[in-house]
Chain A
Amino acid sequence: NAGVTQTPKFQVLKTGQSMTLQCAQDMNHNSMYWYRQDPGMGLRLIYYSASEGTTDKGEVPNGYNVSRLNKREFSLRLESAAPSQTSVYFCASSGLAGVYNEQFFGPGTRLTVL
Chain B
Amino acid sequence: KNEVEQSPQNLTAQEGEFITINCSYSVGISALHWLQQHPGGGIVSLFMLSSGKKKHGRLIATINIQEKHSSLHITASHPRDSAVYICAVKRGGTSYGKLTFGQGTILTVHP
Residues of B in contact, count (CB < 8 Å): 25
Residues of A in contact, count (CB < 8 Å): 26
| A-contacting 9-mer, from B10-18, B73-81, B90-98 | B90-98
List B residues 25-81 near A (Cβ within 8 Å): 30-31, 33, 35, 41-45, 48, 50
Say whether B99 faces chain A, with CB atoms less than 8 Å apart. yes
By a CB distance below 8 angstroms, the chain B residues around A77 are none
Complex Cα gap A97–B95 (Å): 6
Say whether B88 faces chain A, with CB atoms less than 8 Å apart. yes
Is B41's CB under 8 angstroms from A43's CB?
no
Say whether A2 faces chain B, with CB atoms less than 8 Å apart. no
By a CB distance below 8 angstroms, the chain B residues around A25 are none
By a CB distance below 8 angstroms, the chain A residues around B86 are 42-43
Is B41's CB under 8 angstroms from A94's CB?
no
Is B103's CB under 8 angstroms from A102's CB?
no
Q: Which of A97, A102, A105, A107 contacts B48 (CB 8 A)?
A: A102
| Residues of B near any A CB (own CB < 8 A) | 2, 4, 30-31, 33, 35, 41-45, 48, 50, 86, 88, 90, 95-99, 101-104
